Structure 1
Amino acid sequence: MNGLTLSPVFGWIISPLLAALVIAAAIGHVMWMTSRRHVDATKATYVRRILAAVTIAVMLVTPGTVRVTQSKAVNTTDVFIAVDITGSMAVADAHYGSSATITRIEAARKAVADITALYPDASFAAVGFGTSGTLDVPLTPDAQAITNWAEALTLEPTSSSAGSNLDKAIDPLLTTMKSAHDQHPDDTMLVYYISDGEQTSTKTRRTFSSLRAYADDAVAVGVGSTKGGRIPQIDSTGAIRSDKFVTDPTTKQPGVSMLDEKSLKTIADEMSGSYVHADADRTLGSQDAKTTSKDYRMANTHQDRERVVPLVWPFAILLTLLLAWEAVDWARTSRRLL
């Protein structure tokens, strides 16, 4: 909804202080003039000068109108993020920028937050993959929607898991990237693939090389450790059961999942990208944002955006008229004194 507001040109401390000083100076000037016996000023002179001071004070606090739009300037960089949501991502053997041990999915969430921060004003799409791959968030310039998606990610229940297959992200990524390329063929497209690299399915993994047709750059991000850890069970709500673990059907012992860096490096090579192991000393940063477009375009968003439009022109016109009046009055007075 549109409305009136104040947006001080020099901030909420300096602008009100300057406005108060201008008005105080005008009042002090009038009081000094009226205390003198022989002056040529009239009541109209005092009123005019007080009005001019008030007008300047109002301009300093800068009145404006609030306008709500659903458009913004969007960088022509499209970032596609795929996150592994298989049960092994619940293993608590990961680190991300600190020595604190967290689950792999928590490390993935932190990585997603860093990715959105790396590309201000870019567009993002999000894919979750496990038993199947799903486009959870279509391409959008709303980075907060991607962060919210990552925070709300739940892992696949142990009861419905049929073994992880790392290529389940290919189809939703390929379809979404092709659609984006058809609409904006000059956009720069980036892929971030976040996983522990473990494949337990007996099916042969498909190659990620098909994404090279659209991806300008790609990063495979490994979370977890090569030492590995026990896999907790995931209940039907997606909650991690820290007291129950998945049993290896072969050994009848709690199953152990380990980060497979070799697999992730191979995936990175297939996309003509690079591999990053996120750990206590390595997080996603500016060194990973090598390919970014410098162009922008206007796009509509689902999120309302408020912007303040300064409304000072009426006061500028009034001040100009008051100053012109002052100049005319000063000229008349000067002629009488000659």
Structure 2
Amino acid sequence: MTLHPILPWWLLLPVVTAALVLLGWRITHERRRGVRSEVRRALLVLLLFAAALRPGFPGGSAAPATADLNVFFVVDTTSSMVAEDYGNSEPRLKGVRQDIMAIAQELPGARFSVITFDTKGHVRMPLTTDTSALETLTAILQPQVTAYAKGSSITAAREVLAERLAAARESHPERPRLVFYLGDGEQTAGKEPEPLQLEDGSVAGGAVLGYGTPGGGRMRENTGLDFDDDAPYIRDSSGSATRDALSVIDEGRLRGIAAQLDVPYVHRAEGNPVQPMLQQARPGALERTVEDGSLAGRTELYWLFAAGAFVLGLAEAVLIMRQFRELRPAAGPRPSRRSADPGKAAR
């Protein structure tokens, strides 16, 4: 049996130990009626801990391109990413959504993380194998609220990306880390973008994917309340006359980011297949094979412990709801006869 914990040991063990010590103290000090409840909670903690360890048996095989991969999507969510020059006048974010899910489909079993950036970088989803969560997050990606758009840098996510890559490298140095940067390269901040400054060897592969056209496209506003196809277009009043603002792809800057990441740059348009791009993006570390051309796989067992924890958690929730319903508001002090009948007191 092998273990692939979802968190580093130095973080996982203290949390579980503290929870078990607290529950053990409560068990020894509870009356007989409360002991059963505390034992059930301790068992729940142990099951969650066992699931977090991700036990499994070696066996089976996995495609060499998808075994033990950490994949980071760095997504531009500035206003320019809804410029309508993708495909048949569609927003660029439509292509971003399609490519993220196409890449995930080609890399089954990999761990995916999503980092977005506008004025600064944000971790929208930590590393996970849950492609359903990835699909949900990707579907609701929206641009920055227009009123907050005061200029952005194409490397605004550099600090967040560097931290996430360093953490992944420290916890599982054997897993290759791929970075897919998806954006249009438009620099709207008043100064030049700062370099990414990533550690050597932190990126094993990936690609910079560019969206947009030299002719550019108009962008609809995002009020933060309801972003839809009927929203007005962002206006440009920098010239002598106010007109609809246009966003144009800057492939030169995108190639510069690709050079810093040491990955290829690929322009993306509607209908472009994802397989040729992935062939360029795959690092040499993924070319490891065994005699039958595949890598060793494993049978996951964490779901057994997670299912047991779910049953106990459900029972605990039912018990809490039952106790909550039994609560009654405490009766307040009864008013005295004298205060209740001031007229009678006066007599």
TM-score greater than 0.5 by the shorter chain? yes
- Find the residue that maps to 1:162 and give its secondary structure: coil
Whether 1:116 and 2:108 are equivalent positions in the alignment is no
Query: Whose Rg is larger?
Result: 1
Q: Give the structure 2 partner of residue 232 of structure 1.
A: 220
The amino acid of 2:74's aligned partner reads: A
Distance 1:157 1:215, change over 3 A: same
Which stretch shows the higher mean deviation, 80-89 or 209-218? 209-218
Contact 2:218–2:233 under 8 Å retained in 1:
yes
CA-to-aligned-CA distance 1:18-66 (integer Å, 9 cap, x gap): xxxxxxxxxxxxxxxxxxxxxxxxxxxxxxxxxxxxxxxxxxxxxxxxx
Contact 1:85–1:156 under 8 Å retained in 2:
yes
Counterpart Cα distance in 2 of 1:136 and 1:147: 12
Contact 1:91–1:103 under 8 Å retained in 2:
yes
Counterpart Cα distance in 1 of 2:303 and 2:159: 26
Q: TM-score, normalised by structure 2?
A: 0.61
70, 75, 84: which is aligned to 1:83?
A: 75
260, 264, 288: which is aligned to 1:274?
A: 264
Contact 2:95–2:270 under 8 Å retained in 1:
no
Counterpart Cα distance in 1 of 2:304 and 2:216: 41
CA displacement at 1:160 relative to structure 2: 1.0
- Find the residue that maps to 1:245 and give its secondary structure: coil
- Find the residue that maps to 2:113 and give its secondary structure: strand
Contact 1:234–1:241 under 8 Å retained in 2:
no
- Find the residue that maps to 1:269 and give its secondary structure: helix
The amino acid of 1:266's aligned partner reads: G
Contact 1:79–1:125 under 8 Å retained in 2:
yes
Q: Give the structure 2 partner of residue 258 of structure 1.
A: 248
Counterpart Cα distance in 1 of 2:85 and 2:168: 36
The amino acid of 1:150's aligned partner reads: T
Whether 1:127 and 2:115 are equivalent positions in the alignment is yes
Whether 1:285 and 2:275 are equivalent positions in the alignment is yes
Q: Give the structure 1 partner of residue 6 of structure 2.
A: none
Contact 1:232–1:243 under 8 Å retained in 2:
yes
The amino acid of 1:80's aligned partner reads: F
Counterpart Cα distance in 1 of 2:297 and 2:276: 20
Contact 2:82–2:219 under 8 Å retained in 1:
yes
Contact 1:157–1:237 under 8 Å retained in 2:
no
Whether 1:190 and 2:178 are equivalent positions in the alignment is yes
- Find the residue that maps to 1:177 and give its secondary structure: helix
Counterpart Cα distance in 2 of 1:146 and 1:228: 29
Counterpart Cα distance in 1 of 2:89 and 2:247: 15
Whether 1:223 and 2:211 are equivalent positions in the alignment is yes
Contact 2:266–2:277 under 8 Å retained in 1:
no
CA displacement at 1:282 relative to structure 2: 2.3
CA-to-aligned-CA distance 1:270-296 (integer Å, 9 cap, x gap): 111101111135232254142337465
Contact 1:90–1:240 under 8 Å retained in 2:
no
Q: Give the structure 2 partner of residue 160 of structure 1.
A: 148
CA displacement at 1:76 relative to structure 2: 1.1
CA-to-aligned-CA distance 1:127-177 (integer Å, 9 cap, x gap): 111111101101111122212111111211111111121111211111111
The amino acid of 1:122's aligned partner reads: A
Distance 1:266 1:206, change over 3 A: same
Which structure has more strand as a fraction of its residues? 1
Whether 1:140 and 2:132 are equivalent positions in the alignment is no
The amino acid of 2:172's aligned partner reads: H
- Find the residue that maps to 2:70 and give its secondary structure: strand
84, 87, 105: which is aligned to 1:92?
A: 84
Distance 1:182 1:109, change over 3 A: same
- Find the residue that maps to 2:127 and give its secondary structure: strand
- Find the residue that maps to 1:214 and give its secondary structure: coil
Flag structure 1 segments of 5+ consecutive residues without an equivalent.
1-68, 307-338
CA-to-aligned-CA distance 1:224-245 (integer Å, 9 cap, x gap): 2121111221112361454522
Q: Give the structure 2 partner of residue 248 of structure 1.
A: 236
Counterpart Cα distance in 1 of 2:304 and 2:197: 35
CA-to-aligned-CA distance 1:213-266 (integer Å, 9 cap, x gap): 300113100112121111221112361454522222312322110111111111
The amino acid of 2:249's aligned partner reads: L
The amino acid of 1:189's aligned partner reads: R
Distance 1:303 1:262, change over 3 A: farther
